[in-house]
Structure 1
Amino acid sequence: MKLANHSNFNAIDHLSRALPNFDSVKAKDNTKVVGLFYYLWHGYHGTQGPYDITKILQQDPNAMDNLDSSAWPDPTNVPMLHWGEPMFGYYLADDEWVLRRHVQMFIDAQIDVLYFDVTNGFNYEQNYLRLFEVLTELQEQGFQVPKVCFYLAPQTRGCGTGNLESLWFNLYKPERYKNLWFYWKGKPLIICHSKRQLPDEVRAFFTWRAPTWGDPKTPECWAWEGNPPKMATDLDGNPEQMAISVCANKCDLDSEDPLYGDNMSDGHWGALVHGRSWHNGAKDERENATHYGFHIGEQMEFALKEDPPVVFVCQWNEWLVPFLTTQTTDAPRYNYRGHDICFRDEFNEEYSRDIEPMKGGYKDAYYMQLISFVRRFKGMEAPTVDTVLSTIKNIDRFTEWDTAGIAYRKYIGGCKPRDHRAYDAIGKYTNYTGRNEFHISKVASDDQYIYFYAECVNKITAANGDNWMNLYIRNPKLTGPSWEGYHFIINRSRSSKLTAVERCAKNGEYSWDGIGEVEYSVKNNKINVKIPKMLLGISSEDFSIEFKWSDNMQDRDVMDFYVNGDCAPMGRLNYTYYFKKSAEA
């Protein structure tokens, strides 16, 4: 039996964009690094609300020009607002249920490092320690989790000095979570000005890179954003790092550029902002243009062309923005051209930088785009291919699977319940839909049949309803109706020995017509299904088939695969079974 790898994952997003496969990218280059800017601040600066700018402006479209609108909260009492709603809700940064899903998504995307934004003088120690626990848990299961690094304030003194001292004494000096540190040039990387007054012990411990927004002004200076992106180098001029961003601030705040008035974000910030839909020198005005990731797409292409060792991707999950008004600040740059309200960095779906999937809007399109970029930038190894015909003669005898087919392994812990405090108006989030947790999936085939196997962490519950232990299948060679790319669903109804095979009845809809019944078997924590290949449209000796196991899905929405019950693999991704008959067979 062979074990599948990341190249056995495939997906098609809601824009019909497929992930690149091994044949369309370069060979895997293990020296390449992709990092994500990650935020730990949700709820730390107050749990009032949540107040969502997008929903506020839906309630009162004129609210940006009226600070007295009843749609706004009291700006003297509410320091932070959300620009939109994350897929996992308005979570707090220490919500372990959310953190686990983040890490699982990073594993599947092959993210190498998380850069924690501590540029505002706070380390969020309680929150990063909770995340480190989850990272370590999944690392100990044998998965390659992202390593960690802190990105401090760009000032050479003042804001950030306390951050560094805290990180040194609480994390690095006692060697806590050393298993997670990201190393660069043989030492733990810290993105912080080395011009600060530092003890020799601290100075010698790290590899130092200076933080900056925009262009790296000197060697060994790593930006978190650039528009256009620029290459950071070492002291000898060798390429090191490049930052790319979902949305970018074009100019300096203090510029007198007259273009500001026409091109600033709708959030009344005076900087020229290139939003999500900016490309080819202009904002794309098509409906749902924000879904396509045009801006970061251009920056990704530039990074692929320049080919730096490290790409810094801005960003995963900021979501929050300070509520700056003339009632709360005297800084004239926040009161741009007479407006009483100003939002910096985040404002709405167009003018925001988050990749993390959202409710509605762009859904998980940016996450899929990120995976696609990682594959193109780092390359891919060849997928695991089955070359030997295997017949499961008795589907009630699960030991026949010990040496048959291809195995796919998923992390454990996704079915743990959610029961965690949230923003004040919500109280807490709960989710107890996790039921049968998938761990190992297998596929084998012979001339007539294809066999699917799933192994759960615990004994499989008794059959119950049409969302119990479903198997979704996509045949890439088929045309005709599909739901989110899936042509077939298995096991929405069943008897003691036979289970239903249904085919999508209407393209784009969760609507299925029965086309047959096939044998299946359940024993303890294992399930086994035997399907005639012809029923799935498999007509050639060499073929590929995509599949996903799902249990206890709540909503007939593909985004539910991230949230409720359990599935293998997570979210929109599918496992792919490749069969190529060997010459010796």
Structure 2
Amino acid sequence: MGPDQWGWLEVYPQHGFYNADNQVEQAAVGVAQNAVGGELSFMSHRDGAMGRSWHGGKKEPGAEAVNYGLNFAEQWQRAFDLNPEFVFITGWNEWVAGRFLEWYKYKAERDSLHSDGMFVDEYNQEYSRDIEPMKGGHTDNYYYQMISYIRRFKGMRPAPASSGEKTIVIDGDFADWQDVQPEYRDTIGDTLHRDHRGYGSTHYADTTGRNDLVLMKVARDAESVYFYVQTREKLTPCTDPQWMLLFIDADGDHRTGWQGYDFLVNHTLQDESTTTLKQNNGNGWQWKPVKLLQYKAVDNKLELRIPRELLGLGKIGPVAFDFHWADNIQMEGDITEFAISGDSAPNRRFNYRYGN
């Protein structure tokens, strides 16, 4: 390709687009392509376009293949081989299923799976190219796949180091947290209630937003691990359902626990100063009580202490684990609730990582 040109979508193997110095400046990476036989076509073509599960010159069989991002992965690998300065990703949110009887050189009655219409850019789950998460289906798989490849392409900042050992007094004062590092932050304002007209008779309403998670910290000493969380406004009463849940992946193994989480705090609270540590029993959303814990919540802040031995963390040596806060999820055992109901920190299926 000549200079002063960029691409937005190409079939594999994509071209490199060069600058005036004959260096690869840009390459396109797509989730799927409205192409048949290597040329421009439409997604609902009767011969099948290059959908989400297209790779290695053919469509991967099986109903689950659409969830794996095989086409997307192949395109990213080509981009890594080209090593351009820029990658153009197609696409985030198209969601336009325009219906045509004629388009380009095609006619619906002759070329489409449906004689009464053809769909050029978006047809169904397989023959579409949106990365934005969907309800059901592949949910947010393509979102995380995109993030993974962007991190490989651009690199990442190293994780901030944790401060040294410090004993925290669970008294509701919180002054002893001031010099604890790092600070884990979450998006502010994502508990906004929704009440809006949709298409036709559909109406979108969501009033689950409650405690807006803002800032989190972790401290440790030889005996315990301490957790701190701060919300934008005053915490709601601890008697509220699904109140300020803390999920902990203590062993760093996603294959253990529920979605990798081995422990859960605040699923059952005794009163305004005593909560429960629960451990996953290895069978989905099933938790057994381990021990009562001390906590304190004042205004918009909460702190609690967990003995290290209960989490399987020895007194000697480094400490490393992942954690996640959530408030007011509506459906237990569904990881997509972290993105739909209440608030979650960090967003969706991400975790915060603590280590020293």
Q: TM-score, normalised by structure 1?
A: 0.57
Match of 2:177 in 1: 401
Match of 2:212 in 1: 437
Q: What is the distance in 1 between the residues matched to 2:25 and 2:253?
A: 44
Deviation at 1:390, TM superposition (A): 1.0
Task: Give per-residue Cα distances to partners, 1:384-422, cap 9 Å, x unaligned.
Answer: 121511110344221110012421122211011112221
Q: Tell me, yes or no, if the aligned pair for 2:248 and 2:263 is still in contact at 8 Å.
A: yes
Q: 1:421 aligns with which of 197, 200, 211?
A: 197
Task: Determine if the alignment matches structure 1 residue 334 to structure 2 residue 107.
Answer: yes
Q: 1:574 aligns with which of 331, 351, 355?
A: 351
Amino acid in structure 2 at the alignment position of 1:223: G
Q: 2:9 aligns with which of 198, 222, 225?
A: 225
Q: What is the distance in 1 between the residues matched to 2:286 and 2:184?
A: 28
1:503-518 paired onto structure 2 within 5 Å: 503-507=279-283, 509-518=284-293
Q: 1:455 aligns with which of 219, 230, 235?
A: 230
Q: Tell me, yes or no, if the aligned pair for 1:466 and 1:491 is still in contact at 8 Å.
A: no
Counterpart of 1:490 in 2: which secondary structure? strand
Q: 1:547 aligns with which of 302, 320, 323?
A: 323
Counterpart of 1:221 in 2: which secondary structure? coil
Match of 1:245 in 2: 30
1:165-204 paired onto structure 2 within 5 Å: none
Q: What is the distance in 1 between the residues matched to 2:208 and 2:253?
A: 33
Q: What is the distance in 2 between the residues matched to 1:381 and 1:531?
A: 30
Amino acid in structure 2 at the alignment position of 1:372: S
Q: Tell me, yes or no, if the aligned pair for 2:330 and 2:337 is still in contact at 8 Å.
A: yes
Amino acid in structure 1 at the alignment position of 2:29: I
Match of 2:300 in 1: 525
Deviation at 1:332, TM superposition (A): 5.9
Q: 1:313 aligns with which of 63, 69, 89?
A: 89
Q: What is the distance in 2 between the residues matched to 1:253 and 1:397?
A: 65
Would you identify which runs of 4 or more consecutive aligned residues in structure 1 move more than 6 Å?
none
Amino acid in structure 1 at the alignment position of 2:218: V
Counterpart of 1:312 in 2: which secondary structure? strand
Amino acid in structure 2 at the alignment position of 1:416: L
Q: Tell me, yes or no, if the aligned pair for 2:24 and 2:82 is still in contact at 8 Å.
A: no
C-alpha spacing 1:399/1:505, structure 2 compared with 1 (3 Å) = same
Counterpart of 1:274 in 2: which secondary structure? coil
Q: 1:278 aligns with which of 33, 46, 54?
A: 54
Q: Tell me, yes or no, if the aligned pair for 2:96 and 2:121 is still in contact at 8 Å.
A: no
Q: What is the distance in 1 between the residues matched to 2:39 and 2:312?
A: 58
1:297-312 paired onto structure 2 within 5 Å: 297-312=73-88
Amino acid in structure 1 at the alignment position of 2:132: E
Deviation at 1:345, TM superposition (A): 1.7
Deviation at 1:278, TM superposition (A): 1.4
Match of 2:188 in 1: 412
C-alpha spacing 1:330/1:249, structure 2 compared with 1 (3 Å) = closer
Q: Tell me, yes or no, if the aligned pair for 2:212 and 2:233 is still in contact at 8 Å.
A: yes
Counterpart of 1:320 in 2: which secondary structure? coil
Counterpart of 1:386 in 2: which secondary structure? coil
Deviation at 1:481, TM superposition (A): 4.3
Q: Tell me, yes or no, if the aligned pair for 2:53 and 2:126 is still in contact at 8 Å.
A: yes
Match of 1:165 in 2: none
Match of 1:498 in 2: 274
Q: What is the distance in 1 between the residues matched to 2:281 and 2:309?
A: 18
C-alpha spacing 1:253/1:296, structure 2 compared with 1 (3 Å) = closer
C-alpha spacing 1:394/1:282, structure 2 compared with 1 (3 Å) = same
Q: What is the distance in 1 between the residues matched to 2:21 and 2:227?
A: 55
Task: Determine if the alignment matches structure 1 residue 357 to structure 2 residue 133.
Answer: yes
The structure with more helix, counted as a fraction of residues: 1
Q: 2:244 aligns with which of 435, 455, 469?
A: 469
Q: What is the distance in 2 between the residues matched to 1:490 and 1:423?
A: 40
Counterpart of 2:61 in 1: which secondary structure? coil
Match of 1:50 in 2: none
Q: What is the distance in 2 between the residues matched to 1:390 and 1:236?
A: 56
Q: Tell me, yes or no, if the aligned pair for 2:16 and 2:27 is still in contact at 8 Å.
A: yes
Q: Which residues of structure 1 form unaligned runs of 5+?
A: 1-216, 255-263, 580-585
1:51-130 paired onto structure 2 within 5 Å: none
Q: TM-score, normalised by structure 2?
A: 0.91
Q: What is the distance in 1 between the residues matched to 2:222 and 2:208?
A: 38
Deviation at 1:371, TM superposition (A): 1.0
Number of equivalences? 347
